[in-house]
Structure formats: C-alpha cells, structure tokens
Amino acid sequence: MPELPEVETIRQYLETEMVGLSVTAVSHLDGRMIKLGDDDADGLSRKLLHRQLIAVERRGKYLLFGWRPRGYLIIHLGMTGRLTVHARLDSRRAHTHMVLDFGERQLRLSDPRRFGRIGWLQRRTWLDHRLGLEPLSQRFTGHTLWQCLQGRSQAIKSLLLNQSVIAGLGNIYADEALYLSRLHPLRRAGDLDLATAARLARSVRKVLRQSLDHRGTSFSDYVDALGQEGGNQDHLFVYGRQGQPCLRCQTAIVTVVLQGRTSHFCPTCQT
Ligand SMILES: [Zn+2]
C-alpha cells in the first residue's frame, strides 16, 4: 500500500508537471471508485471538465487536487492504486478506472483491487477532521506524540497505524520506526515515557525522510507517476526481512500478527 513517502513522491512530480493545466476531457470515470462526496460519475466528470489545476497537496495518504474554480478532487490509492501520467495514445493498463485528459497528456488511475477511493470535496476540512498529526510537520514532536499516547491501552504498532492519530504511516514505516526506536510492536502505547516517545517521533521522521530520498518503497505494487519503481526496498531494516539477521545483533527477524497485519521486528533489540 502506498504510504506517505510514496504518495508524496507522486505529489511532487504532479505538482511540478501538471499544475497550471486544465482538464480538456474526462475520457473514463468508473463510478465504483467514487466513495467520497455525493457525486456519481457524470456529476464528477462535469465538475472536473475545464477546471484548471492550481495545486496538488497531500494530507496523510490522500492526494488533494485543487482547482480553479475552487474545489478538490481527493484520491486515496488504497492497496494497489497507481496514479500515472501518460501520453494520450499510450495503451491503457488493465483496471484503469479514471482517465483525465490535460491536452495531449492523461492522468490515469488504475487499481486492480479497487480499495482506492476518489471523490469531490468543496473544502478540505473534511480530511482535516479525520486525520491526525502530519509526521513531517513541525507540530509532530516528541511531546505532541507523547500527548497522543496518554491513556491509550492499545499496542504502539496499532496506534502508529491509526490515521486519526498520525496520518500517513502504514505497515512498512510503522515497523521500521519501531525497530529504530528499539520498541516491541506490542508495547502498550500509554506506557511510553516522554523520552521514549521523543525517540519514536525522531525515528518516524527518519524512516519517512530516508524513503522520500529513495523515492518510496516498491515492495509490491507501488510505482511513481512515471511508472518507475522506488528504491527504498533495498534499505529496509525489518519489513519483509523475516528469517534474516538483524542488522544490529544478528538475531533472526520474526513476525507477529496484530489485527490482521503482520509486524516485523527483532526479538532481541525490541523490548
Ligand atoms: Zn537485533
């Protein structure tokens, strides 16, 4: 699933290449992908047609396309979504559910499993009310993270995945940050003291920035807006490394399943 660094890598490309362009046609729009807002495919197509793209923003794992006249197209890539830019005549990938024409270029959304979602919002406050701290923002500090953990009885891994607490982390970067912080994924969130929470906040930022530097992690489906894989999968500490030696202590990395998600960790380093 694309997490913050992958979505941000896509965003940066689209901001550079597409802002200023206008939608000249909505060549294809599958109404089954519209899971936000009140529009059907025809209604959303009418809203998008002839609008000029003036901003591409990100909130958590959501992309927000800002337009003139005002409004937002919101896109979440779910598990297998890809958002890519093509020449109009390029052949279409199977499971392409949205095609927006910007002159000779097309923005295409493909998503074989259709867990992704799109929709129109007049204001972005809908997202801000549902999503928690942005981990790369200045507001995300050891202290604000520690405040979020107070009174929480669930496992710290579950809390890192809770988008209403911290927005943008998924299974990969939660596991990586817990490893860097030497924290067991099942540690009770509310038990972390301020110094430990500060260490975890630093680790979260570090693993996200490292991945951004490598243009994201292509473990399964993720590609950037040009269809290129990222490079961070070659720099992971624990995610996907079960059975391989810990990079610090050589103990074999193990897994534990928590709420249906597999956590990867070192049983020696992470307590
Ligand atoms: Zn270890």
CATH number at residue 26: 3.20.190.10
In a domain, 95, yes or no: yes
Partners of residue 26 on adjacent β-strands: 100
pLDDT band at 136 (very low <50, low <70, confident <90, very high): very high
Q: 177: domain CATH number?
A: 1.10.8.50
Q: Is the predicted pLDDT of residue 259 greater than 90, yes or no?
A: no
Say whether both 8 and 126 belong to one domain.
yes
Identified catalytic residue from 51, 61, 82, 117: 61
Query: Cα dihedral sign for 236, 12, 229, 225?
Result: positive
What's the gap in Å between 266 CA and the centre of ligand 1? 5
Say whether both 89 and 164 belong to one domain.
no
Say if CB 60 and CB 167 are below 8 A apart.
yes
Q: What would the pLDDT profile of 18-36 be if each residue is shown by its tens digit?
A: 999 999 999 999 999 999 9
What's the gap in Å between 259 CA and the centre of ligand 1? 24
What's the gap in Å between 207 CA and the centre of ligand 1? 17
Q: Which amino acid appears at position 36 of this protein?
A: L
Say if CB 28 and CB 45 are below 8 A apart.
no
Say whether both 159 and 65 belong to one domain.
no
Domain range spanning residue 197?
A: 142-265
Burial 71-99 (b: 16+ CB within 10 A, else e): bbbbbbbbebbbbbbbeeeeeeeeebbbb
Q: Which of 108, 130, 152 is the last residue of a domain?
A: 130
Say whether both 113 and 167 belong to one domain.
no
Say whether both 12 and 118 belong to one domain.
yes
* Residue matched to tokens 């202290």: 143
In a domain, 204, yes or no: yes
Say whether both 169 and 98 belong to one domain.
no
- The reply to whether the predicted model has a pTM over 0.85 is yes
Say whether both 28 and 121 belong to one domain.
yes
- Determine the average pLDDT of the residues in 90-107: 97
In a domain, 76, yes or no: yes
CB atoms under 10 Å from CB of 235, counted, come to 13
Identified catalytic residue from 57, 88, 261, 267: 261
Q: Is 61 among the residues known to form the active site?
A: yes
The total number of structural domains in the chain stands at 2
Q: Is 5 among the residues known to form the active site?
A: no
Q: Is the predicted pLDDT of residue 1 greater than 90, yes or no?
A: no
The torsion of the CA quartet 247, 249, 254, 260, rounded to 10 degrees, works out to: -70
Q: What would the pLDDT profile of 171-225 be if each residue is shown by its tens digit?
A: 999 999 999 999 999 999 999 999 999 999 999 999 999 999 999 999 888 999 9
Q: Is 157 among the residues known to form the active site?
A: no
Q: Is the predicted pLDDT of residue 104 greater than 90, yes or no?
A: yes
What's the gap in Å between 239 CA and the centre of ligand 1? 13
In a domain, 81, yes or no: yes
- Give the whole-angstrom CA distance, residue 92 versus residue 50: 23
Q: Is 2 among the residues known to form the active site?
A: yes
What's the gap in Å between 252 CA and the centre of ligand 1? 8
